[in-house]
Each structure stands twice: as structure tokens, then as C-alpha cells.
Amino acid sequence: MRTAATRAFSTSTANRTKVAVLGAAGGIGQPLSLLLKQSPLITHLSLYDIVNTPGVAADLSHINTSSKASKHIGIYVTGHLPKDGGLEEALKDAGVVVIPAGVPRKPGMTRDDLFNTNAGIVRDLATACAKTCPEAKILIIANPVNSTVPIVSEVFKQHNVYDPKRIFGVTTLDVVRASRFVSEVAGGRPEEIKITVVGGHSGATIVPLFSQTQGIKSLSKEQLDELTHRVQYGGDEVVKAKDGLGSATLSMAFAGARFTESVLRAAAGEKGVVEPTFVRSSLFEKEGVEYFSSNVELSPEGVGKIHPLGNLTPYEEELVSVAVSQLKGNITKGVQFVSESQ
Ligand SMILES: NC(=O)C1=CN([C@@H]2O[C@H](COP(=O)(O)OP(=O)(O)OC[C@H]3O[C@@H](n4cnc5c(N)ncnc54)[C@H](O)[C@@H]3O)[C@@H](O)[C@H]2O)C=CC1
Ligand SMILES: O=C([O-])CC(=O)C(=O)O
């Protein structure tokens, strides 16, 4: 977690932040909190779940990570359960809220099958955020991301605190997978291979743009088909291997910690921090799609510059058009859910 950049920015205590993790005792929440406990950019790690959080918090609070910049005050960890206003306490003064709360898939399910359970969980947590920490950056991991991001946005609109720059769908795992899978086929160090992945976060809405990465343009059509399918359905590989015990947790914690750290680095003033993320975007607005994932330069306010997709091959253009048509339905479903629950 400690890159040269984070070391440079960790010298200022002014920019250090309270980060709340909602769903902190879950499969993603626990390893994500462990990774975040190592960030020099966090002063207070606030953990909330409907079960088991005090234990997770007590355990993490024994880790001797501390920042010299804060005069040896380590990251302060607290754990909250719903009783006695625990959620409000967890969110009070948070600068960043990460939401992995919600149920994961079992074999045979799509991410959209999680909507009925997770939409209500995310709506209620977003309501608490809109009331308690309306200026926090909200990082949404809970699936289906293509619908939960519009849900959070609609809730914030209802409370008149909506700023599209501060609401992010976490799609980092798609680029983490893409670079790993490409390295297995084409060689190279996966951590150095950058693949642009755009669209959304489920099946055919996930579109890797392999043509934009130098050195792998010579993939055969068969390799391209296989790699594209593997990135689009990488989540299914894990769901199948876990055989009823959930979906990706450890790789997601890695990806979620990377994205959170990037948001914090940009908030601390670092320039040139670019991550893919599913945000309010004008890229496909004309086609009626208000949210889209693409590379975004992060800024102190949150979303900075949304990068255009760049040159696409006809193969990629076709994938993007399928993604756009599916996203429309996913987004509408989230928006309608909030308007119908009023
Ligand atoms: N964006 C992405 O790339 C990925 C998203 N996910 C999604 O992340 C979510 C969580 O997955 P896991 O951690 O594996 O599930 P899990 O079931 O292990 O953990 C979820 C946690 O959320 C908690 N929770 C449920 N309702 C809550 C509420 N109202 N308030 C606070 N906490 C609540 C549960 O008690 C549990 O501890 C799932 O929806 C999954 O599909 C998973 C992998 C990748
Ligand atoms: O596949 C799932 O349900 C979890 C997920 O979003 C992923 O692993 O990309």
C-alpha cells in the first residue's frame, strides 16, 4: 500500500481522513479493512456491520501500523452495530464511505438476481450517508453495481445533497483481472500491464479494450475472444469454485483497497491518479445511458476528468454497443426502485 506517492502525501496530517466501511465483517469487508488499516492516509477506520463488528475492530486495532506524521497516533479503529445509533456514529465526519454490504451470488445466479435483496440494503445505507456525511465520497462495491450506483445517486438527489463527483461504482477488479489474465497469455508483469476496461460491472457490460495496450495487439482472434469472455465472466469462475460459499472476496478486497487509496491520494492533492470507475458520465448520455465506467482522473473533489474511450476496433465497438443497451435497463431499474419506494 505504501507507494512513493503515498509516502510523499502522508507527510501532511491535514489531508488524513476518516474512512467508514459498511459491511465490514463480511467476506470482503474484513480483508478490505485489514488492507486499509495499512494506509498512511487514514486516521480513523470506522467499521459498521449488522453482525460481529466489535470483534473485527478489536482484532484490527491491535495491528501496530502508525503514521509518524500524526505524532505516533496510529489509525484509530472503531466497530459499530446498528443499536444505539451505531450507523450514524460510524458515518459521522467520514470523508470516504466504502460499501461492501449486501449478499453475494451463489452458482447459477446473475448479479442482477441480487437486486431484490441488495437494493434495499444500499438504499437504506445511502439514506444514512445522505443525512450524516453528505459530503463524503461514496464507493459502492455491493452488487449489482450497475443498479446500486443509480440507487445511491437517487437517494442523494432526494435529500438535495447530490454531487455526481462523489459517487463511485467500484469496477477496479475488472482491470485487476484483465491485466492478470493477459499476462498469463502474452507474458509480462501483470502489475505493469494496464488494460482499459469500460462499460459496467456485469457480464457483457464489462468491455476490455485490449487494442489500446501496446505489446498485446498481436492477439489472435481466438485469444481475444477467450480473454474478453474471461474478463467479462471472471466473477463466475470464483462463484463456481467457491461452490455456494460466495463470490470474490480477497481479490475484491485488493481491488477495493487500491481504489480507496487512489481516491484518498487524489483527495490529498496528488495529480494524475487515474482509475476506471462507474460514475455519472456524459459519454453515452445521448444513447440514454447516464452512468458509465471508463478511466477517470480523480481530483480532490472526487471525479475529475472523465477520459473518452479513445480509438476502438470494430470488435470493441460491437462490445460497447451491447454493453450500452444492457446498461440502460440496469440503470433504469435502480432509478425506479428509489422512486417507487418513496
Ligand atoms: N464490485 C465488485 O467488483 C464486487 C462486488 N461484490 C459484491 O459485494 C457484496 C458483498 O460481498 P461479500 O463480502 O462476499 O458478502 P458477505 O455476505 O460475506 O458480506 C456482506 C456483509 O454485509 C453485511 N450486511 C448485510 N446487510 C447489511 C446492512 N444493512 N448494513 C451493514 N452491513 C450489512 C453482512 O452482515 C455481511 O457481513 C456482494 O453484493 C457482492 O456481490 C463482490 C465482489 C466484487
Ligand atoms: O461475481 C460476483 O458476483 C462478484 C463480482 O462482482 C466479481 O467477482 O466481479
pLDDT at 13: 41
8 within a domain of the structure (yes/no): no
Phi/psi at 309 (5° precision): -70, -25
262 within a domain of the structure (yes/no): yes
342 within a domain of the structure (yes/no): yes
pLDDT at 65: 79
Q: Answer whether 148's CB lies under 8 Å from 122's CB.
A: yes
pLDDT at 76: 87
104 within a domain of the structure (yes/no): yes
Site to probe by mutation for ligand 1, drawn from 247, 250, 291 as the one with most ligand atoms within 8 Å of Cβ, is 247
Q: Atom 29 of ligand 1 has which residue's CA nearest to it?
A: 121
Domain harbouring 118, CATH code: 3.90.110.10
Q: Answer whether 306's CB lies under 8 Å from 279's CB.
A: yes
Q: What is the tens place of the pLDDT at every residue in 278-289? A: 999 999 999 999
18 within a domain of the structure (yes/no): no
Q: How far is CA 251 from the centre of its chain?
A: 12
Query: Could you say which residues of the chain have pLDDT below 50?
Result: 1-14, 67-72
Q: Answer whether 10's CB lies under 8 Å from 69's CB.
A: yes
pLDDT at 64: 85
For the chain, what is the domain count? 1
Residue 230 assigned ligand-binding role: no
89 within a domain of the structure (yes/no): no
27 within a domain of the structure (yes/no): no
201 is catalytic: yes
3-state secondary structure 159-205: CCCCCHHHEEECCHHHHHHHHHHHHHHHCCCHHHCCCEEEECCCHHH
Strands (E) in 35-121, as ranges, are 42-48, 76-80, 96-99
Please give the number of the atom of ligand 1 that sits closest to the Cα of 255.
3
Burial of 175 (0-12, 13-18, 19+ CB in 10 A): buried
Full domain range(s) for residue 255? 95-342
**Which of 182, 239, 247 has the alpha carbon at shortest distance from 215?**
182
ipTM: 0.99
68 within a domain of the structure (yes/no): no
For residue 248 and ligand 2, the question of a CB distance below 6 A is answered with: yes
Please give the number of the atom of ligand 2 that sits closest to the Cα of 105.
3
Annotate 47-66 with b (16+ C-beta within 10 A) or e (fewer): bbbbebbeebbeebbeeeee
pLDDT at 217: 62
Annotate 22-37 with b (16+ C-beta within 10 A) or e (fewer): bbbbbbbbbbbbbbbb
C-alpha cell at 123: 438504499
pLDDT at 14: 46
Residue 142 assigned ligand-binding role: yes
For residue 28 and ligand 1, the question of a CB distance below 6 A is answered with: yes
Site to probe by mutation for ligand 2, drawn from 147, 252, 254 as the one with most ligand atoms within 8 Å of Cβ, is 252
Q: Atom 5 of ligand 2 has which residue's CA nearest to it?
A: 235
pLDDT at 72: 44
Distance CA 213, CA 95 (A): 34
C-alpha cell at 275: 482509475
Residue 178 assigned ligand-binding role: no
Q: Is the dihedral of CA 194, 303, 280, 37 positive or negative?
A: positive
**Which of 107, 146, 125, 157 has the alpha carbon at shortest distance from 21?**
125
For 93, residues 6+ apart whose C-beta sits below 8 A from its C-beta are 18, 133
pLDDT at 67: 45
pLDDT at 15: 56
Q: Which amino acid, one-letter code, is at 301?
A: E
User: Terminal CA-to-CA distance of the chain, rounded, Å?
Assistant: 42
